[in-house]
């Protein structure tokens, strides 16, 4: 039989049997569009079947991205629609691991670690009440105790990194489908699949949230060498009696990542690793001089890479150190700590001048703005005695001139005004259509009293406190308003402050035992006031007006009795 005839017969037979010589490529986009519709229609059975088909095709075509994406959607569908979903999701990943190969395997181990973490978090109360369990069924996570699941989380993170050389050869841009809410800058700092998985594990270790019992000699960063250069740190021998200590695991992994990037042609990644390493160790170190060591390490790193824009990011962390030291310093201190804010500003100024468009440069610009922005607060007592001097506490930062004004608040009808709520409502816009708040309206009227104050600029960017003596005023309700002297400050919440107070000779006292009894006394002398007229108002709901519940007057001893005090 001629060969051409044989080929025709074979083709006809294959066609009749339903087998195509030229199989059509699986249309993943069309399936995902359908799946989105199915998910919206909440049809988990159909979606799971379609996902099984998609994953099978992805395995046959070696489409890792579609395979992992399909698994992720399956886990999502299971956890939202099925009973015991988390256990089933964990079981499914375990099954996939039986047949998976690199590079799917490390990704699955990372997914399994996250599933264990989620399960532990959702069941933390149950685990906290459970003692150590020895179960014959070691695969059933529902029977595990805290130690077992914590160890398994660590184990899965370690398994995800067990082939570092292979992972380091895989470029992360090829796995962009793994990333969520990541941009090119994120990928440039984690350029390989190894970096992605290592930092995923490292972020968990750095949280220091292990529930495992600490060893007698727990691992700690109690050696100044942990602040050494990258070269020295990478070669530093590190050991711990507790091999599952999160700090120990973080330190060892930081060493691995440092060694991997130590000789990169572009030091951008290494600088980022160094910043994170030094910042982490500074936060966890027990050394009394850790601030000094951290400062020296950052300065060394900044100097070594001064020609690289990432040095601005190092400068930012040095500035943050100074800023935090300034925030903790005694406001009245006259030693070098008073200049920490200024030191932080100068570090940022130089970094921004050198690399204004870099991440570090832009962050330094934001910190400079924070350090130099004007700010003021004002506080008063709630009540004052008539015609006594009003004392107020004014706190300012980066402000040299302040104008203080006092306005009288007219209270003509208590049923339309509730003094206790005034502070919460002064900024609210009127519901009658006016765009002005009560504060806006009051500031347009002439004040009862005003004065300007000038403060010395010492150039240290620190906050200062001043106790000021204001006016002597008659009985009434008042608002005191402070703002920058050259502006009303109405439109800038950072450069205005106000407080509300009352002036009255009357004061009421409630005994601890009998809350339905009140004593009316003279605020100045403390003597009882007889025949004082009293009205008690109540409000059933916040939106309803006040109504009089009880009226009366104090007796000759200044006492008055009524009921249900808590309702008024």
> Which of 90-104, 268-282, 409-423, 503-517 has the largest mean confidence?
268-282
Q: Tens digit of pLDDT for each residue in 55-64?
A: 899 888 888 8
| Whether the predicted pLDDT of 319 surpasses 80 | yes
Rounded distance, CA 436 to CA 122, Å?
Answer: 48
Q: Is the pLDDT of residue 12 over 60?
A: no
Any idea which of 11-15, 148-152, 473-477 has the lowest mean pLDDT?
Answer: 11-15
pLDDT band at 35 (very low <50, low <70, confident <90, very high): confident
- Given a cut of 90, whether residue 78 has pLDDT beyond it is no
Q: Say how far apart CA 408 and CA 505 lie, in whole Å.
A: 17
In this prediction, residue 260 carries a pLDDT of 98
pLDDT band for position 547 (cuts 50, 70, 90): confident
**pLDDT bucket at 521, cuts 50 / 70 / 90:** very high
Classify burial at 22, counting beta carbons within 10 Å of its beta carbon; exposed 0-12, middle 13-18, buried 19 or more: exposed
Q: What is the DSSP letter of 531?
A: T
| DSSP labels, 262-291 | TT-SSTHHHHHHHHHHHHHHHHH---TTHH
* Strand 476-484 versus strand 375-380 pairing type: unpaired
3-state SS of 32-54 is: HHHHHHHHHCCCHHHHHHHHHHH
Q: Rounded mean pLDDT of 72-89?
A: 75
Tell the burial category of 337 from Cβ atoms under 10 Å away from its Cβ (0-12, 13-18, 19+).
middle
Higher pLDDT, 5 or 136: 136
Q: What is the structure's pLDDT at 142?
A: 81
- Nearest partner of 461 among 336, 379, 352, 370, judged by Cα: 370
- Position 82 confidence tier, pLDDT thresholds 50, 70, 90: low
Banded pLDDT at 298 (limits 50, 70, 90): very high
pLDDT tens-digit readout, 95-154: 989 988 899 999 999 999 999 998 888 887 777 766 666 655 567 788 888 888 889 999
Q: Could you tell me which residue, 38 or 365, shows the higher pLDDT? A: 365
What average pLDDT score do residues 435-464 get? Answer: 89
Given pLDDT bands bounded at 50, 70 and 90, which one contains residue 453?
A: very high
Q: Name the pLDDT band for 515 (thresholds 50, 70, 90).
A: low
Sheet holding 375-380, edge to edge: 375-380, 389-397, 463-472
Report residue 466's pLDDT band, with 50, 70 and 90 as the boundaries: very high
Torsion on CA atoms 471, 476, 481, 487, rounded to nearest 10: -90
Please determine, for residue 257, whether its predicted confidence score (pLDDT) is greater than 80.
Answer: yes
Bigger pLDDT: 168 or 568? 168
253 vs 259: CA distance, rounded Å: 10
Looking up tokens 């009127």 gives 430
- What does the alpha-carbon distance between residue 237 and residue 165 come to, in Å, rounded to a whole number? 22
Q: In the chain, what percentage of residues exceed pLDDT 90?
A: 50
Q: How confident is the model at residue 380 (pLDDT cuts 50, 70, 90)?
A: very high
Residue 414 has pLDDT above 60, yes or no: no
Average pLDDT over residues 285-296: 97
Q: Does the structure show a pLDDT above 60 at 269? A: yes
pLDDT of residue 34: 75
More confident residue, 70 or 415: 70
* Of the candidate ranges 39-43, 314-318, 398-402, 450-454, the one whose mean pLDDT is the lowest: 39-43
CA dihedral (125, 208, 156, 102) positive or negative: positive
What number is the average pLDDT over the span 432-448?
A: 79
Any idea which of 307-311, 384-388, 494-498 has the lowest mean pLDDT? 494-498
Q: How confident is the model at residue 6 (pLDDT cuts 50, 70, 90)?
A: very low
pLDDT tens track for 167-205: 999 998 888 777 766 666 778 899 999 999 999 999 999
Q: Average pLDDT, stretch 508-535?
A: 84
Q: What is the mean pLDDT of the chain?
A: 84
In the predicted model, is pLDDT for residue 538 greater than 80? no
Asked if residue 20 has pLDDT above 60, the reply is: no
Q: At what angle do helices 85-99 and 104-122 cross, to 10 degrees?
A: 160
Task: Please name which of 123, 103, 125 lies closest in space to residue 115, comparing C-alpha atoms.
Answer: 123
* Span 520-545, average pLDDT: 83
């Amino acid at each position: 039989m001629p060969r051409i005839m044989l080929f025709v017969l074979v083709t006809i037979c294959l066609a009749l049997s339903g087998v195509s010589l030229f199989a059509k490529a699986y249309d993943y986009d069309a399936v995902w569009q359908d799946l989105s519709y199915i998910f919206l229609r909440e049809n988990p059975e159909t979606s799971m079947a379609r996902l099984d088909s998609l994953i099978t095709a992805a395995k046959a075509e070696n489409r890792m991205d579609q395979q992992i994406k399909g698994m992720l959607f399956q886990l999502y569908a299971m956890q939202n629609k099925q009973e015991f979903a988390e256990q089933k999701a964990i079981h499914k990943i375990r099954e996939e691991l039986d047949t998976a190969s690199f590079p799917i395997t490390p990704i699955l181990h990372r997914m399994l670690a996250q599933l264990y973490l989620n399960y532990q978090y959702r069941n933390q109360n149950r685990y906290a009440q459970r003692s150590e369990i020895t179960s014959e069924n070691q695969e059933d996570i529902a029977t595990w105790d805290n130690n077992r699941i914590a160890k398994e989380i660590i184990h899965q993170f370690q398994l995800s990194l067990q082939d570092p050389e292979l992972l380091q050869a895989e470029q992360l841009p090829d796995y962009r489908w793994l990333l969520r809410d990541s941009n090119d800058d994120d990928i440039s700092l984690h350029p390989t699949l190894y970096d992605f998985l290592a930092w995923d594990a490292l972020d968990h270790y750095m949280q220091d949230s292990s529930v495992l019992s600490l060893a007698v000699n727990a691992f700690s960063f109690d050696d100044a060498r942990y602040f050494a250069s990258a070269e020295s740190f990478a070669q530093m021998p590190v050991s711990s009696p507790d091999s599952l200590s999160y700090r120990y695991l973080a330190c060892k992994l930081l060493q691995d990542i440092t060694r991997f990037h130590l000789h990169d042609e572009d030091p951008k990644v290494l600088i980022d690793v160094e910043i994170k390493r030094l910042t982490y160790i500074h936060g966890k170190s027990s050394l009394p001089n850790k601030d000094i060591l951290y400062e020296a390490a950052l300065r060394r790193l900044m100097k070594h890479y001064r020609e690289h824009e990432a040095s601005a990011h190092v400068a930012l962390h040095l500035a943050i150190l100074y800023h935090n030291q300034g925030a903790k310093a005694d406001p009245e201190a006259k030693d070098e700590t008073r200049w920490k804010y200024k030191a932080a500003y100068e570090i940022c100024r130089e970094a921004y001048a050198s690399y204004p468009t870099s991440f570090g440069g832009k962050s330094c610009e934001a910190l400079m703005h924070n350090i130099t922005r004007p700010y003021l607060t004002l506080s008063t007592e709630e009540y004052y005695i008539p015609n006594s001097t009003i004392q107020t506490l004014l706190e300012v930062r980066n402000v040299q001139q302040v104008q203080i004004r006092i306005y009288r608040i007219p209270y003509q009808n208590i049923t339309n005004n509730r003094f206790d709520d005034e502070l919460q409502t002064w900024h609210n816009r009127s519901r009658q259509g006016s765009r002005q708040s009560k504060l806006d309206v009051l500031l347009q009227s002439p004040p009862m009293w005003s004065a300007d104050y000038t403060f010395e600029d010492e150039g240290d960017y620190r906050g200062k406190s001043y106790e000021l003596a204001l006016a002597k005023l008659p009985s009434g309700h008042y608002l005191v308003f402070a703002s920058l002297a050259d502006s009303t400050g109405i439109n800038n919440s950072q450069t205005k402050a106000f407080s509300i107070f009352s002036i009255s000779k009357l004061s009421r006292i409630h005994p601890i035992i009998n809350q339905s009894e009140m004593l009316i006394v003279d605020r100045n002398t403390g003597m009882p006031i007889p025949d004082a007229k009293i009205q008690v108002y109540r409000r059933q709901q916040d939106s309803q007006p006040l109504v009089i519940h009880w009226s009366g007057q104090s007796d000759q001893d200044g006492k008055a009795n009524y009921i249900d005090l808590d309702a008024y």
